[in-house]
Amino acid sequence: MANIQHKVIPDADLHEPKGVSGASSGTVYVADGLGSGQWIKNLHEGIQIGSGTLLTKFVIYSVIINPPAPSGGLATFTVSVPGLVAGSDKPLALIKPTFVTAYTAVNLAITVSDILDVSMVTSADLPSETYTLIVIRS
């Protein structure tokens, strides 16, 4: 059997993920669920939009959350998120992976580094799941 490395095989002859030979350092392959995908900047390093004083950097975290049972329709708790920076990170969204009509995140705050304060309105106990947290870093 021939000893051929992927980096010397023409891109058109490679299996998915194609483009690995030309992918930039610090990028990751993100599948689209349809048998293909694309190379993008590692989301945990942040996505930058704009430049100079108009630069906005979004940082995305995967966070396992096990919300407590609501009291009077409100669940308030903290979640450890290593890497959050109090004073420069502002929570933008907390995205639940499964659809539940009885859930609304009403308050997200970072008052201490590595800790996310969450208050959510819910009429039901929510299961432990991996949520997506998006923050704006200044």
- Per-residue pLDDT reduced to its tens digit, 83-102: 899 998 899 888 877 776 66
Q: Are 79 and 108 a contacting pair, CB within 8 Å? A: no
E strand map for 9-127: 27-31, 37-41, 47-49, 56-65, 74-80, 89-95, 103-112, 115-122
Output the pLDDT for position 130. 84
User: What is the band of 125 on the pLDDT scale with cuts at 50, 70, 90?
Assistant: confident
DSSP label at 71?
B
What is the mean predicted confidence (pLDDT) over 111-123?
89
User: How much is the pLDDT for 11?
Assistant: 73
> Does residue 16 sit in the same domain as residue 50?
no
Higher pLDDT pick, 119 / 96: 119
Distance from C-alpha of 70 to C-alpha of 94, rounded to nearest angstrom: 18
Which structure tokens are listed for 47?
């996505």
For residue 26, name the pLDDT band (cuts at 50, 70, 90).
Answer: low
Both 21 and 50 in a single domain?
A: no
Convert the pLDDT of each residue in 29-85 to its tens digit. Answer: 766 666 677 776 655 555 555 555 555 678 888 888 888 888 888 888 999 998 899
Higher pLDDT residue, 40 or 116?
Answer: 116
- Chain mean position to CA 26: 16
Are 36 and 49 within one domain? no
Query: What is the distance between the alpha carbons of residues 30 and 48, in angstroms, rounded to a whole number?
Result: 18
**Same domain assignment for residues 103 and 50:** yes
Report pTM. 0.59
Indicate whether 1 belongs to any domain.
Answer: no
What is the domain extent for residue 127?
A: 44-137
Please tell me whether residues 73 and 116 are part of one structural domain. Answer: yes
Asked if residue 61 lies in contact with residue 133, where contact means CB atoms within 8 angstroms, the answer is: yes
How much is the pLDDT for 36?
Answer: 72
Look at residue 136 in the predicted model and tell me its pLDDT. 85
